[in-house]
Amino acid sequence: AGRGWAGQPGEGSLHDAAEPDPARIRTRFPPEPNGYLHVGHAKSICLNFGLARDYGGVCHMRFDDTNPEKEDKEYVDSILDAIQWLGFSWDFNGRSHQYQASDYFDFMYRAAELLIERGLAYVDQQTPEEMRINRGTLTEAGKDSPWRARPVEENLRLFREMRDGKHAEGSMILRARIDMASPNINLRDPAIYRIRFAEHHHTGNKWCIYPMYTFAHPIEDALERITHSICTLEFEDQRPFYDWLLGQLRDAGMFSDPLPRQYEFARLNLTYVVTSKRKLMQLVTEKHVDGWDDPRMPTIVGLRRRGYSPGAIQLFCERIGVSKGDSWIDYSILEGALRDDLDEKAPRGMAVLDPVKLRLTNWAELFGADHAEPCSAPVHPHHPEMGQRHFNLGAEVWIEREDFQEVPEKGFRRLFPGNMARLKYGYVIRCTGCEKNVDGQILTVLAEVVPDTKSGTPGADSVKVKGVITWVSASEGVPAEIRLYDRLFKEAQPDAGGRDFLEVINPDAKRVVRTWIEPSVAQAAPGTSFQLERHGYFVADRKDHQPGQPVFNRTTTLKDSWSK
């Protein structure tokens, strides 16, 4: 091909022939650094990094920055952080495989000239409108551009002039010369380079022409010697061009076999979620949520702050698998994976989310007014090795408002006048009534301790009760802010059928309540997850929680409330 780089083994590759890289499988994850990653990206990450991990290979971390858009360091950092948090790495045999596509601009430019030299590309000066019309339709072949037969020398000269800034944006483009009658519209002389006078965040003003994604991506893959280039289904029709381009560049001596192959899989569509970066951006900039990491957001930072574990997200991706058919995945599958992951790991604790005070009226008489009765409970019911948690019972405790009914409805088993129930891990108590304010609102529930019935003592079973209630000691419980999150959208497919997704935002997706929590829970480090008995899984907020000033997010309830 008359070029120094052509035909030399290893030249058309980032991998030095002298340093053989034994990776058998080489995949890549190629995000554009223009937003935060979301749960759909997680599927792609688990697939690409997971394949590499499982088959003795490496997954390249590649920033696809061929568009001269403003890149934000914030996005780059957050993407790297998200992948590492999910448990993956782009290191292989002690070498980092982090790349950026803009590093290959010289190479892409040479590839374009090579196509021109071989009569496989031409500069087209039709207007965008003419090009669109002449491209034809699904049922109608396209028409050749009047510039299609331009001589090689003229194409080369014009393309270099494009590069040198001699022509206006939109005045001409470089197109591959394939087949205007192809049944695959993507093969009807696709555009491969366009003029854009835009500064690029890495290459500055060096270029005023930029490669099209469909041209750049195969070259990036081939340069990095990717074996499996995995993308979403909408690129299926692009595969013939992918293969055509790399085949031509191989025949020209630029690349050698084996060439990368493209494989497609269904993108993740998750109910009650939007996964378009543009729409997520809109939620943030228009302040429908409190930032990219708002726990209602399906971003990885949002899921993390909500209390999702990397294990849960990996489990979810395993369960939904990889398929060739587009479908919607029910949100309950994501939550199910979360519960399955957390159930075995999360320490337990008690909290009262809707508190009303309960006074034990015979406490002073039985034990002395200030007596604190030590109680204990397993940190985890299936894992004795996780130890016990300790707290005290006193004359006053917080209970859930719903655990008392002055006039009980049928089947109600907890506290009502005359009925007995157990304070979990503590005593059986008998309800004697309540105190109300002038409006009839219940201020305090009244009960008596039934002596010798404490959990874990021989008398525990001497009195049988049907109701067990959770509680937090009024003297040692810690006040906590708890944020109760629900689905962000009221419709399962928020953006279906062209509907404006903002119209179906759920205004009640965040509710903040003042609660009381068990001291052991209040002391948690930010990011720690708990199962608060009967209420669900909660996480100490990564940003706002401080030991002693607890702020928790409800990650999910204990039972599935999504599927009808």
The catalytically annotated residue of 11, 32, 113, 117 is: 32
CB of 276 to Mg ion, least distance (A): 8
- Residue found by looking up tokens 């019911």 in the block: 381
Distance CA(135)–CA(122), nearest Å, equals 15
- The answer to whether the annotation marks 93 as part of a ligand binding site is no
Distances (CA, A) of 54 to 48, 49, 189, 309: 10, 9, 39, 21
Q: Does 277 bind ligand ATP (CB under 6 A)?
A: yes
Q: Which does 268 bind (CB under 5 to 8 A by kind): ligand ATP, Mg ion, none?
A: ligand ATP
Burial class (CB in 10 A: 0-12, 13-18, 19+), 209: buried
Taking the least distance from each CB to Mg ion, the nearer of 477 and 494 is: 494
Burial class (CB in 10 A: 0-12, 13-18, 19+), 486: middle
CB of 32 to Mg ion, least distance (A): 5
Going by the DSSP 8-state scheme, the letter that residue 489 receives in this structure is: B
**Is there a catalytic annotation at residue 28?**
no
Distance CA(415)–CA(417), nearest Å, equals 7
- The answer to whether the annotation marks 33 as part of a ligand binding site is yes
The catalytically annotated residue of 177, 277, 296, 305 is: 277
- The answer to whether the annotation marks 502 as part of a ligand binding site is no
- Token pair listed for 91: 């290191």
One-letter identity of residue 180: M
Give me the count of residues in the chain.
564
Q: Which residue among 51, 231, 395, 472 contacts ligand ATP (CB under 6 A)? A: 231
Which 257-276 residues touch ligand ATP, going by CB under 6 A?
A: 267-268, 275-276
What H or E segment, with its residue span, contains residue 480?
strand 478-485
* In 226-330, alpha helices (H): 239-251, 277-285, 300-306, 310-320
- The answer to whether the annotation marks 425 as part of a ligand binding site is no
Specify the pairing of strand 396-400 against strand 355-360.
antiparallel
- The answer to whether the annotation marks 267 as part of a ligand binding site is yes
Taking the least distance from each CB to Mg ion, the nearer of 48 and 553 is: 48
Q: Which residue among 3, 6, 11, 32 contacts ligand ATP (CB under 6 A)? A: 32
Which 31-60 residues touch Mg ion, going by CB under 5 A?
A: 32
Q: Which residues pair with 58 in a beta bridge?
A: 26
Distance CA(523)–CA(290), nearest Å, equals 26
First to last CA, the chain: 64
Q: Does 232 bind ligand ATP (CB under 6 A)?
A: yes
- Token pair listed for 444: 């305090």
Taking the least distance from each CB to Mg ion, the nearer of 65 and 224 is: 65
**Piece of the chain touching Mg ion by CB under 5 A; list 28-36, 107-115, 238-246, 477-485:** 28-36
**Is there a catalytic annotation at residue 267?**
yes
- The answer to whether the annotation marks 232 as part of a ligand binding site is yes
Q: Does 314 bind ligand ATP (CB under 6 A)?
A: no
Interaction mask 33-62, ligand ATP, x per CB under 6 A? -------xx-xx------------------
| Residues tagged in the binding site annotation | 32-34, 64, 213, 232, 267-268
Applying CB under 6 A, the residues found at the interface with ligand ATP are 30-32, 40-41, 43-44, 231-232, 267-268, 275-277
| Residues tagged in the binding site annotation for ATP | 32-34, 232, 267-268
Applying CB under 5 A, the residues found at the interface with Mg ion are 32
- Positions annotated as catalytic residues are 32, 267, 277
